[in-house]
Amino acid sequence: MSIPATRSRENTRARLLEAAEQLFAEVGLDGASVEAVCERAGFTRGAFYSNFESKDELFLMLAGRVAETRVNAVRERVTEITAEGGLVPGCDPTDLLQKVMDSGSDDRMGVMLMSEIRIRALRDAQFGAAYLAQEREMVGSIAQIVTDIVDAGKLQLRVPAEVAGRILMIVWEGMTVRGAMAGQDDAQLRRAGSEELGRLVDLLLV
């Protein structure tokens, strides 16, 4: 009985997250009320609060899903490049970065969501602490990818992998935000900042 119950709970959470994502795209973070999310997903407030403590928790989870999708896309592309023989000692790190970034998963909705959530984090210390904790996990994932690339390519970093991961993430996110402001489409956003990241990689490597 526990397995079907667990699966049902996961399905409910997934539907609520999907509804929240749709509403955010239409009306923004403030406009996506708990009542509106429940109505869109076809659930009661009771179902919502049996899965999430608050709207803040829901949107933090949604932000985490956006971040995880980004990192997984990069990880999968690195795995593909490695299998194709593109990640070997002596490879061009800037060219490698371009190949990785071209397969990114950034889109305008994701950029807007993350931007609004950061504004919310600036205004609320408790929410901000939860957001930073989630961000540290993302940095750790990026740092592991950086370590794998450095080891496979026999490269050497000037700074610890975690520091490199945080710097890369900040530049990556900053450039996608500016790309969204400039009206770039999803394909352009996926390549936003590649040139700047390439320069940064040159600075981070010995």
Q: Which DSSP state fits 105?
A: -
Q: Where are the beta strands (DSSP E) in 24-103?
A: none
Q: Would you say residue 153 has pLDDT above 90?
A: no
Judge if pTM exceeds 0.85: no
Is residue 115 exposed (0-12), middle (13-18) or buried (19+ Cβ within 10 Å)? middle
- Residue among 168, 162, 160, 171 nearest 141 (CA): 162
Q: How far apart are CA 35 and CA 19, in angstroms?
A: 11
Reduced to 3 states (helix: H, G, I; strand: E, B; else coil), residue 205 is: strand
Tens digits of per-residue pLDDT, 78-102?
Answer: 888 888 887 888 778 777 777 777 6
pLDDT computed for residue 94 by the predictor:
78
Q: Is the pLDDT of residue 191 over 80?
A: no
